[in-house]
Structure 1
């Protein structure tokens, strides 16, 4: 099947031959190669192992919409009816990622991490600016059966999942929580502020080239409010493994760069501060739903902080504590505070440390 994917890529580009040079980082959902074509050009070939997930549809639709702004250019795409689901992307080399800088050590590490953070944030802002007002175009390219605003679905499903978890593990709950989730989500559903988001803009899903960052991994791309991506700097990194804290001044500088690029240097709406609070609060609680099962059900050794990533106990407690002090519907804040307090009694205190570059 892997040979079929490479041959498909060659056929899409009209190349009589293709040679795999290296396997690149990916996930269980895909396989990624750097490959050389017959004319000596190198490209990146991505094979989506399970087309039914729709990740190739999201990624190809998003990269066509981005058209090289803050992301690699898409050169070709195949469809499962024609063989393997494959995208062929421009090869941007291996300049390293923001995660590399956040995990680095040394006297110069804080400065370099701060610069990388601004480059990452600027790339997201430029992508936002390029794609603002083009939600219908993305939805059409995405096709039927996939929601363009997938994060809204996560929020809608979160109360049911959390209610079942807390009932099974003797944790607090309130019947007011589901309506409070909907209340917090409401301002983030305004299509006037919807932009294309990579959906999973983690510190390792980018390349920090000399002329700016390029975002990678659009398998969960969606059109949603700008604040969802901006809140990655506050939670921090809600969907990511490299979820260490960054200093407040570095986060503020990066957020300012993101918003300047996102709004094209124009004024930021006065409503954005409240929208950012809503996204921060909801990211905290949605990600707690993701990580709480393992935190409750697996042994301590599987939940401890590691050198490269915080453990689930740390992420769950610190995100509940952040939710409790973030402006938003009182039932959510109260539930988060009560649950955090009970989990601290079970697991002890777990502060989120700064990223290694800042230690």
Structure 2
């Protein structure tokens, strides 16, 4: 007869042969999980990232090489026909980076960051490597998060635009972001992490006009080169890509009493000479009744003679206003020359918040 203690000892030995526990896929670090191999058929490095993204719960954030000016020709991406062997996520990422050595990658929490390899040695000379000043930012939506964290950069201000062609989940409630010496890249990662599992972002455009987009999943054909081909098929369009207000707080009687709402618009395609667009500033909501703004002008007509157009709307607090916050939006109401108006999913354009204090 075997004693109970002996049975336990035998079971223990069988459960952990050789003294090692068996780790399931669920307990592995996500970077150590194995992916199936896939084919690249005349496709780019970014297409390969999209195929990785389809097999992992990690988010992928991609910083594409930036042109100097928005009007410059699109950067050319090498196309590959290659079998990418299966392996861990880091194995597959390393293989892709060996195909196109212009790129490198690193990890921040549950986000894979991919960026031009040469930027890692540029320090804070590269936009995304810059660190935020010590601050706490209240974030209620992704667009606000982008502009608020960028405004918290130590030193000189930087330009960035937010563009979105699909619906975003937003946040169930506002949350506080503490910079804690993070880089701007890590700040954008935090915004994506708060949006949900697997969310990431893409930075593109030009040094003079950077554009960021969030995504639930990367899609093949995500390079500007491919987007340019698609854009030529869908026709010419104009789109509001960012709205900011400076300063964020004005007073009914004290100074400052005036703010400027600044909208950035992009124009794409073959725009006929002399084309114009009508741009309107609107008030969408206020947190309390009686919040009033006075406008110099709410509608402007702009010439579509550039790839990037800036429009400014001065606003002041009316003398009889209540104290509170108001949400301001800018939309394109019309365009000539058969130019399409590309709108956001909410059809309210981009928005920014202004606080009115009394007195």
| TM-score, reference length from structure 1 | 0.26
User: Hey, which of these two has a bigger chunk of strand by percent?
Assistant: 2
| TM-score, reference length from structure 2 | 0.26
Higher Rg? 2
User: Hey, which of these two has a bigger chunk of helix by percent?
Assistant: 1
